[in-house]
Amino acid sequence: MSLREFLEECRRRGEVVEETGRVSAVLEAARLLARYDGGPVVILRDVDDKNIPVASGICGSRDRVYRALGVDKDTYYVAVRDAIRSPLEPKIVEEAPIKELELGYKLSSLPVLKYYELDGGPYITGGVVIARDVDEGYQNASIHRLMVAGEDRLLIRMVPRHLYAMYRKAERKGEELRVAIVIGVHPAILFAASCSPPLGVDELWVANKLLRGKLTVTRSPELELLVPSEAEILIEGVIKPGERGLEGPFMDITETYDEVREQPVIRVLKIYARRSPIYHAILPAGSEHKLLMGMPKEASIWEAVSYVVPKVKAVRLTPGGFNWLHAVVSIEKQWDGDGKNAILAAFTGHPSLKHVVVVGHQVDVDNPVEVEKAIALNVQGDEDLVIISGCRGSSLDPSSLKKGVTCKVGVDATPPLQPHKANNSKLSPHYRCVAGHED
């Protein structure tokens, strides 16, 4: 279950474009990637004569993500839920392609891109960071942006989630946290690393469940962390207690620059790769970035809403909301009040969510015109809006008056179970469709 196998499948489907001319890792490569954003996988064959091709857009379309997980748009919610609830331990192998080459310790050996003019430096954006808890021994895998700050130094952006908790625990004990960064992995691993299972659940086990037991892992040479055996590139390093540096600016998912912060430093020990490695670069604020962040949260919202509404048809974090701040949830309404309960549950399932529209089960969540018609025909502002002030939201929302605190708004655009008597004889065919009232 490797990136290479997935790329070969994409080639057979005509979904790969290759650029063979030499391009610079500073801005020029990113401009090429942006040209194809949301379309085919792009492979840049020559980036600064590094002799390591750069691939991007691997998870740049929903259909490719569904295909990588072996699901479709209707079944992926359950597949993700089951993988998180019942993860599957991967088989450990001693010999692995990821150990074939030793590239020393210098990050300059890799084609790390600088994407935008105001970026704080070149960034590794497709790296999965794997760490082991210093006390309990469980592993965690998550995607983080990594700014190159020297030949053997990376600055890692950590938000207060699982890796941050592990790092702070090690720091309080005065111990270094050992980390392995893998670049160029199967999309199911990227997807699992973007999920948020409970602390202590190894995302590589989640990926193995999604891959139906076909993932193998191996011990990293220096630190003996378990890493995907068929990853393209492996960086081993340590985060020493108390060592920090200024990270940023960085163009984030909302197409706005994230601020400069003090962040932990990773000291690189050694870089390994398989023969003829492929470097995976995720274009910041591009479709791949947005889908990898957003799609796992759609599954989280689906599960949360499923606890309060018997039938959730679909959840979509919308492109206009950067696949992060806005959602549409389609439910099969059975009781008055189901729409509002679904709104509250959606905010629980994705704490960064800012606005959510709940619609009836016949509305296509991918069709903004249908969603707007549902609002037009079913919503009375004084009855169907849910407004919650002072909530934890997204730190990426530039409209927040206080960083990370927002006002959340839900719109109950579900049709009434019984049409209003005054309008009962005047229902248009479209209203009947949106409302679920069929002749």
Peptide bond into 249 cis (omega under 30): yes
DSSP state at residue 206? H
Active-site residue identified among 48, 119, 252, 338? 252
- The two beta strands, 405-413 and 355-360, are parallel
Sheet holding 355-360, edge to edge: 312-317, 326-331, 355-360, 405-413, 385-392
How far apart, in whole angstroms, are the C-alpha atoms of residue 272 and residue 308? Answer: 48
Helix (H) or strand (E) holding 153: strand 153-156
Does residue 294 contact residue 317 with C-beta atoms inside 8 Å? yes
For CA atoms 305, 306, 309, 315, the dihedral sign is positive
Bond from prior residue into 187 cis (ω within 30 degrees of 0): no
Whether 252 sits among the annotated catalytic residues: the reply is: yes
CB 194 within 8 A of CB 80: no
**How many whole angstroms separate alpha carbon 224 and alpha carbon 180?**
9
Positions marked active-site:
252
